Chain A
Amino acid sequence: MIHTHILVCGGTGCRASQAKEVQEELVSLIRDKHLSQTVQVTTTGCFGFCEKGPIVKIIPDQTFYTQVTPEDARDIIEEHIIKGRKVERLLYEDPKTKKRISDSVHMNFYKKQLRIALRNCGIVDPENIDEYIARDGYQALGRVLSIYSPDEVIDIIKKSGLRGRGGAGFPTGKKWEITSQVEATQKYVVCNADEGDPGAFMDRSILEGDPHAVIEAMAICGYCIGANKGLIYIRAEYPLAIGRLLVAIEQARKYGLLGRGILGNDFEFDIELKYGAGAFVCGEETALINSMEGRRGEPVIKPPFPAEKGYFDCPTNVNNVETFANICPIVLKGAEWFSSIGTEKSKGTKVFALAGKINNVGLIEVPMGTTLREVIFDIGGGIKGGKKFKSVQTGGPSGGCLTESSLDMPIDYETLLEEGSMMGSGGMIVMDEDDCMVAISKFYLEFTLDESCGKCAPCRIGNKRLWEILNKMTKGEATEKDLEKLIDLSHTIKDTSLCGLGQTSPNPILSTFKNFKHEYLGHVRDKQCEAGQCKDLLHYTIDAKMCVGCTACLRNCPVGAISGEKKKPHLIHQDICIKCGICYEKCKFNAILHQS
């Protein structure tokens, strides 16, 4: 019977530092020592600690070895497995105490992720309210209703320092307070689940994985501001989340956790769903309210804010999904606990959807103040395919691209703004050397262009012009004068657009221009795309010296633009070539050249 497992990290980072060789060595030693019946070596996914790779972990004693070389394998087997003595020099040294830590149980600092909003995701069955209740579900609501006054709860939220997770970071407690103080017979709690950033999916994951967390928090909010009705505005493109929310709402009603007289108190609250229909601008509060009222999702000028005049002109508190998901733990564990996490001005954690040219694409939650480097290289496992990190984009189409120099900045609302990006809803897209920053700007502008409601002139026409200039650049048709116009116009659009969409739409341009000015100049002056992404600036040729005539390019070319005989150098016919780049990807001999 197997009683000891040796886990060897198979993540890209560790692989690059000989993890495979370590594993082979371990396996052969086990075979030599006739331990195969009791000890098993297994490859795992990334441990998220790539800077100290390769990682080897022993189960069940949880020993955590770092920077293991193939030569160390012998000590691990002979000392640790056979004699039961840990190999001291391979244990992780705490950089502060200089002490070596023997097992991962005491290595929680290595666990850079802390899950508050995602606390139940991947743990509870979202369609079974019992599992939620078993994990303290609805205890916060219960305590709020029987112990606290609305003002006391608002005070807790204010003291916790929680800020809106939808992007701008307005203090949540304050928002609740404002709505609670407006006098009206009818008020509403709205959950904004119209997540639309391309590359962001945390709200959807929370709703799919832990719908009750949002329902409970909305009820608490209703109690605080004096609303008996909650509305969740959710994208119709999220059928699974919708289905699970409906099940959850029904179950909560059956338990009397929604409806009249909740938990024996004189409090009524119920929730209804409203569906979005594919308009990103509806993430903006006033547009969202227009859409919920069955109209075109066009924003209107604030003030009045929804807190005064919202859904059907009633005071309305709008928070996003992740914000709500933080409420119950704050109520249960206290404002002090929450405010002890994070930085001075940004408390708690933030969920990010980590994607792009990164190994561990996924959903992560880290305390505010974690650095981008930790997120990308430790948790994210570094850049895919061993390429060079170039930029990380946060804040979606409203955000910006940050460079190497920002990697050690702690993530919080203010720092990201200072660095020329923003928190946004939490998309985090990693880009490598193959990504052209001009093309990325164009991509985001295309998005804004698609999603602009068209109401105000700077956003409607201005973004079109920005896109056109960028398009000219990627085609090598732009001049330096165009570049000047691009920046000038960007500032005007920021300064004069009606809503947040337009006011932030030039951010991708301004931040990439700030950090990658030479790439813009390269496109306009030299008509060159250094990343090799702008296909109009490239042409593909075959280096006859390198080409072995394997025919791989010829066979894979979708348009038949390549000719050549077997084992003889091939040729690309420029008039047929559509510059799709498949030959470049397929060639194993570096014989395809792409040049500006």
Chain B
Amino acid sequence: MKTIKLSSFAIETVEEACSDFQYREDELINILHRCQHKLGYLPAEVQEIIAQKLQMSVAKVYGVVSFYSFFSMIPQGKHPISICMGTACYVRGAEKLVDEFKRQLRIDVGETTQDGNFSLSCLRCVGACGLAPIVMVGDKVYGRVSAKQVKDIISEYQKSMV
């Protein structure tokens, strides 16, 4: 027998989500949304239980999780940094911001810093094209960001950590 170890909170979260959606396989994406929202990410064990509860294969669940960029199997940093890579932001220099964040944080896009403070991701059009290029840290939006400001943005959060 294979055992899947998980915290009681995670188990309850999955159970609640699945039961709210009547254990329906076609509600998988909604269930994953709910679990990720509560747990922050979707570790393998969580996907295993979801598969069990919905009586579907875990390969299929992972097939879905890995298909959609919104779902993550890595815990996000305390301060998730997202750079808008919509066209409007791109033509206004978003690429330079990505380079600069990568350089400053020494991580690649899709990674989290070792101390778990920052994670870096790109997203497609936040819809604030008037403020391009856009950087989001958590829910906070920074508009018309220049490469030079990158350092300041990072240190703003580093300070608050101390």
Direct contact of A and B (CB under 8 A): yes
Q: How far is the CB of B82 from chain A (nearest CB, A)?
A: 10
Classify chain A: how many residues form its interface, as a range.
35 or more
Q: Does B145 sit within 8 A of A, measured CB to CB?
A: no
Whether B70 pairs with A236 at a CB distance below 8 angstroms is: yes
Main secondary structure of the interface of B (DSSP, over half): helix
> What is the bound-complex CA distance between A429 and B125, given in angstroms?
13
Q: Which of B87, B130, B147 has the largest count of A CB atoms less than 10 A from its CB?
A: B87
> What is the bound-complex CA distance between A362 and B69, given in angstroms?
27
Whether A279 pairs with B67 at a CB distance below 8 angstroms is: yes
Q: List A contacts of B71 (CB < 8 A).
A: 277-278
Whether A277 pairs with B32 at a CB distance below 8 angstroms is: yes
Contact of A277 among B24, B69, B88 (CB under 8 A): B69
Q: List A contacts of B100 (CB < 8 A).
A: 558, 580
Please encode chain B, from 67 to 107, with 1 for each CB lying within 8 Å of some chain A CB and 0 for all others: 11111000000000000011110111000100110010000
> What is the bound-complex CA distance between A197 and B88, given in angstroms?
11
Q: Does B153 sit within 8 A of A, measured CB to CB?
A: no
Q: List B contacts of A88 (CB < 8 A).
A: none
Please encode chain B, from 21 to 32, with 1 for each CB lying within 8 Å of some chain A CB and 0 for all others: 000111111101
Q: List B contacts of A298 (CB < 8 A).
A: 67
Q: Does A201 sit within 8 A of B, measured CB to CB?
A: yes
Whether B29 pairs with A201 at a CB distance below 8 angstroms is: no
Contact of B67 among A362, A431, A453 (CB under 8 A): A453
> What is the bound-complex CA distance between A290 and B160, given in angstroms?
44
Q: Does A357 sit within 8 A of B, measured CB to CB?
A: yes
> What is the bound-complex CA distance between A469 and B125, given in angstroms?
26
Q: Does B33 sit within 8 A of A, measured CB to CB?
A: yes
Q: List B contacts of A356 (CB < 8 A).
A: 87-88, 91-92
Q: Does B58 sit within 8 A of A, measured CB to CB?
A: no
Whether B91 pairs with A237 at a CB distance below 8 angstroms is: no
A296-B87 contact given A236-B33, A277-B68, CB 8 Å threshold: no
Please encode chain B, from 127 to 155, with 1 for each CB lying within 8 Å of some chain A CB and 0 for all others: 10110100000000000001110010000
Q: List B contacts of A353 (CB < 8 A).
A: 129
Q: How far is the CB of B147 from chain A (nearest CB, A)?
A: 6
> What is the bound-complex CA distance between A276 and B69, given in angstroms?
10
> What is the bound-complex CA distance between A280 and B28, given in angstroms?
19
Contact of B87 among A291, A429, A578 (CB under 8 A): A429
Whether A277 pairs with B26 at a CB distance below 8 angstroms is: no
> What is the bound-complex CA distance between A372 and B83, given in angstroms?
30
Contact of B86 among A199, A278, A580 (CB under 8 A): A199
Please encode chain B, from 101 to 121, with 1 for each CB lying within 8 Å of some chain A CB and 0 for all others: 001000000000000000000
Q: Report the nearest A residue to B151, measured CB to CB.
A: A558
Q: List B contacts of A453 (CB < 8 A).
A: 67
Whether B69 pairs with A278 at a CB distance below 8 angstroms is: yes
Q: Does A146 sit within 8 A of B, measured CB to CB?
A: no
Whether B68 pairs with A427 at a CB distance below 8 angstroms is: no
Q: List A contacts of B44 (CB < 8 A).
A: none
Q: Report the nearest B residue to A238, measured CB to CB.
A: B127
Q: List B contacts of A277 (CB < 8 A).
A: 29, 32-33, 68-71
Q: Report the nearest B residue to A296, measured CB to CB.
A: B67
Q: How far is the CB of A398 from chain B (nearest CB, A)?
A: 12
Q: Does B123 sit within 8 A of A, measured CB to CB?
A: yes
> What is the bound-complex CA distance between A291 and B27, given in angstroms?
10
Whether A427 pairs with B147 at a CB distance below 8 angstroms is: no
Q: Does A528 sit within 8 A of B, measured CB to CB?
A: no
Contact of A199 among B26, B30, B129, B148 (CB under 8 A): B129
Whether A443 pairs with B90 at a CB distance below 8 angstroms is: yes
Q: Does B6 sit within 8 A of A, measured CB to CB?
A: no
Q: How far is the CB of B83 from chain A (nearest CB, A)?
A: 12
Residue numbers of B with Cβ under 8 A of A are 24-30, 32-33, 60, 63-64, 67-71, 85-88, 90-92, 96, 99-100, 103, 123-127, 129-130, 132, 146-148, 151
Other A-B contacts than A201-B125, A278-B124, 18 sampled, CB-CB below 8 A, are A198-B86, A198-B88, A198-B90, A201-B127, A237-B124, A277-B70, A280-B124, A292-B26, A294-B24, A294-B28, A295-B64, A296-B63, A298-B67, A312-B26, A353-B129, A355-B129, A361-B130, A578-B99
14 contacts between A and B (CB under 8 A): A196-B124, A198-B85, A198-B124, A199-B88, A200-B125, A201-B127, A237-B123, A274-B29, A294-B64, A296-B63, A357-B91, A429-B87, A431-B91, A558-B148
